[in-house]
Amino acid sequence: MPLQAGRPLTSGISLRTWLGLLRRREAQLVLAILAVFALSSALHHTFASASNISFILADSVATMIVAVGQTIVVLARGIDLSVSPVLGIAAIGVGFPAQDSNLNIWLALLFVLLIGIGLGSFNGFLVAVVGIPPIITTLATLTIYGGLQFIFTSGQEVVNIPNTYGQLGNANMLPGIPWVIVIGAAVVGLAHFFLTKTVAGRAIYAIGNNADASFRAGIPVRRVLFATYVICGGLAGLAGLIYLCHVGSADATTGSDTNVNLMSIAAALIGGTTLLGGRGGPLGAALGAVFLSEALQAMISFRIDPIWEPAGVGALILIAVVSDRKGAPARQLFRQAFRRPAGAPR
Amino acid sequence: MSLPASSVPAANPAASSADRRGRAVRAGRQETVWVVALVALLAGLLAYFVLAVPNFRALGASGVLGLSEQFLDIGVIALGEALVIFAGEIDLSTGAMSSLAGIVMATLWQQGLNIWLATVLALVVAGLGGLMNGVLVTRFSINSLLVTLGTQFIFSSVATAVGGNTPPYNFPKSFVTLAGTGTIGPVPNQLVTFAVIAVVMWLLMGRSRYGRGLVLIGYNRAAARYTGVNVERTLLGAFVACGLLAGVAGIFVSGYYNAARDDIGDSLLLPAITVVVLGGVDIFGGKGRMSGVIIAAFLLGFLTQGLLIRGDSSLTATMVTGIVLVLCLVLKIGLDRRAGVHLKELVQRRFSARRAPLAGGP
């Protein structure tokens, strides 16, 4: 299955190819994003404005970057539930020096990466070296990092960031294209290149498909697993800086208040990555993040009470998962669901 | 720590049945060691708090028993969560389910229904929520992590929507006494309820055909099916029980605070899973003891409450919970290694395609 990612997309344009393309989750998501966009624009005249589009995209970047890291971990059959406090610690870790002593933004970038990599390595150590299951490891580090974030904040909050930060978060690089979108696109592009074109990236897919076989094929399984958590931590740290710049504030609940953990997993799943590992990719995760952000804006435009947002996200996860049956049509799925189980294993 | 035969079929074809039996015996002994260690830890912890923390000592015996009202909600959820985890599945929707049950109970009561009838109906709703999870997992064969991740969002939205801006509070006194803060002598009512549920769960897992089937499903699903365990129905039962107990926890919290809120359950899920894992249940199913989970509920609860009484902030207490969890697992994995499972093998197994053999079958 992972070879799919390298399949040429454009050669031999027959109807069959086009229909085959529609089987890909990325294509389905693009259609879904366009459909929601068309519907919202038709019913709400300001929805299609350039500023709204740019807002939707820019708003999704922090989630997108975390989701890319989450995808890399999930591809190797792991999960990282500690991304939200990592994002939070990174945001306040540079937020305070930026607010108090105007920390240089390049230094800030270095710091958030170091924070993320450090916290990610601890996850990676526990998972790959000690051998604690990922969901338990990151559940534990979620509480530990959450406590650290609270202690570091000591009741203060970052409310006033220097201009350079605010510009990075909200100003345009080219007319109509904010900096954050460029950064998000760069991260997604690099991750895609890493996962599809490098040996280490392919090893991640291999481990997610069958760690045992990968080990026997000579892949240093534990080292690669360790690396996935380090990368995920680093990206969560980077997302912390983006969040700080884009939103302009940070406190003890940053990251957990916007449910970064679950949103990043949701974006990855909606993007076609399966929790069983080995299938999916960062392009889908990025589209998933955009779709979530767009859906939220659409809900606001339609004046749907925002309390239904979580239910919408939950339903999307279920739809994404149910429809991901390697192309099994819905009819077959329902027949299977309501058939009496036979004696033999599925 | 014996190996599910199907997970690494070619790894050790020469292993004799005696060898395998030896491993099974060792695994059972290790589970016992774990439970004994938990009891010792609990005793040591209480001794420490009594000796070193004057405020804790000042509570007296009834005060210490009364502390349990602060954490039994987590314990009840953990008992249900344990059932699901024994079978190698997981339920992330329990916290949201607790909120929903509390809100449903309170809203029905506000609409003029008898409070006890409202409670029963709320528990029915919780059971139905569990049924929904179970149907999605067994009938559509979707990974339970995904299903419950999705339904968690849905339950919590519904709770918010039903509860409205000012969820009901100030329930009848009889309800608050029985479900919340009342006591029988020095023993809180909640503790009595918890004890009853815990004994039922302990008998269920240790002494009933159903419980053994559930553990077998977690240990080796294909083998369970061939042994005649009705895998779908057994799993469905576990999810329903898990939802139901999450509902009971929601009623506990509502009774204790004499108010229902749509977010009361949010902070219960992670500690509950921590309790289950601390209790020695393998997160991939098939191993562990219900008695361990019951003791772990008290261990974690008294640890948190003791730290709070000592004057630590609640987040420090939560952080210590996480650290304890990690240390326990490191210790447990060390024990596994002593029992002859090499770390490399262990790590490989953690990440190997555990459920893949199901697809083929013999």
pLDDT tens, position by position, B272-290: 988 998 998 988 888 889 9
* Partner-chain contact B143 A275, CB within 8 Å: yes
Q: Does position A10 have pLDDT exceeding 60, yes or no?
A: no
**Under 8 Å between Cβ of A71 and A235:** no
- Give the nearest partner residue to B352 out of A143, A212, A262, using CB atoms: A212
- pLDDT band of residue B346 (cuts 50, 70, 90) is low
Q: Does position A95 have pLDDT exceeding 90, yes or no?
A: yes
| pLDDT tens per residue, range A226-243 | 999 999 999 999 999 999
Token pair of B79 as six digits: 């008992």
**B178 vs chain A: nearest CA distance in angstroms?**
32
Q: How many domains does chain B have?
A: 2
Residue B355 is predicted with a pLDDT of 37
Question: Considering the domain boundaries, does residue A15 fall inside one?
Answer: no
Residue A333 is predicted with a pLDDT of 61
Q: Which position has the higher pLDDT, B60 or A107?
A: A107
8-state DSSP, A49: S
Question: Considering the domain boundaries, does residue B29 fall inside one?
Answer: no
Show the domain range for B349: 318-353
Instruction: Name every chain B residue with its beta carbon within 8 A of the beta carbon of A124.
Output: none
Q: Does position B82 have pLDDT exceeding 80, yes or no?
A: yes
ipTM over the 0.85 cut-off: no
Question: Considering the domain boundaries, does residue A40 fall inside one?
Answer: no
Task: Say whether both B334 and B288 belong to one domain.
Answer: no
Show the domain range for A132: 54-323
Token pair of A103 as six digits: 């920390």
* Coil, helix or strand at residue B15: coil
Q: Does position B4 have pLDDT exceeding 50, yes or no?
A: no
Q: How many domains does chain A have?
A: 1
Whether pTM > 0.90 for this model: the answer is: no
CATH code, A230: 1.10.3470
Task: Say whether both B265 and B345 belong to one domain.
Answer: no
Instruction: Name every chain A residue with its beta carbon within 8 A of the beta carbon of B157.
Output: 307-312, 314
User: In chain B, which residue ranges form alpha helices assigned H by DSSP?
Assistant: 17-52, 54-58, 60-67, 72-86, 94-110, 115-138, 144-163, 173-175, 189-207, 209-219, 221-226, 231-257, 269-278, 290-310, 314-338, 343-351, 356-360
Task: Say whether both B206 and B76 belong to one domain.
Answer: yes
Question: Considering the domain boundaries, does residue A249 fall inside one?
Answer: yes
* Partner-chain contact B322 A141, CB within 8 Å: yes
Q: Is A148 on the interface with B (CB under 8 A)?
A: yes
Highest-confidence segment of A28-32, A186-190, B149-153, B216-220:
A186-190
Question: Considering the domain boundaries, does residue A207 fall inside one?
Answer: yes
- pLDDT band of residue B32 (cuts 50, 70, 90) is confident
Q: Does position B48 have pLDDT exceeding 90, yes or no?
A: yes
Residue B362 is predicted with a pLDDT of 25
Distance CA B328, CA A308 (A): 39
Mean pLDDT of chain B: 84
Distance CA B267, CA B99 (A): 10
Cα dist. A147→A19, A57, A144, A154, B323 in Å?
A: 50, 32, 5, 11, 11
Tokens 């989450």 sit on residue: A70
Question: Considering the domain boundaries, does residue B78 fall inside one?
Answer: yes
Name which of B237, B246, B238 is nearest B100 in CA terms.
Answer: B246
A323-332, B186-195, B255-264: lowest mean pLDDT where?
A: A323-332
Q: Which position has the higher pLDDT, A146 or A332?
A: A146
Token pair of B70 as six digits: 């602060």
Task: Say whether both B127 and B238 belong to one domain.
Answer: yes
DSSP state letters, A97-108: HHHHH---HHHH
**A141 vs chain B: nearest CA distance in angstroms?**
6
CATH code, B256: 1.10.3470
Q: Which position has the higher pLDDT, B28 or B105?
A: B105
**Under 8 Å between Cβ of B111 and B230:** no
Question: Considering the domain boundaries, does residue B131 fall inside one?
Answer: yes
Residue A326 is predicted with a pLDDT of 54
Question: Considering the domain boundaries, does residue B171 fall inside one?
Answer: yes
Residue A262 is predicted with a pLDDT of 83
Distance CA B248, CA B101 (A): 8
Task: Say whether both B73 and B132 belong to one domain.
Answer: yes
Q: Which position has the higher pLDDT, A116 or B169?
A: A116
Q: Residue A261: how many CB atoms within 10 A of its CB?
A: 24
Average pLDDT over residues A294-304: 85
Single-letter amino acid, residue A233: G
**Under 8 Å between Cβ of B193 and B251:** no
Q: Is A66 on the interface with B (CB under 8 A)?
A: no
**A211 vs chain B: nearest CA distance in angstroms?**
5
Task: Say whether both B333 and B212 belong to one domain.
Answer: no
**A123 vs chain B: nearest CA distance in angstroms?**
11
Average pLDDT over residues A24-34: 86
Instruction: Name every chain B residue with its beta carbon within 8 A of the beta carbon of A345.
Output: 221-222, 225-226, 358, 361
Highest-confidence segment of A36-50, A253-267, A320-334, B69-83:
B69-83
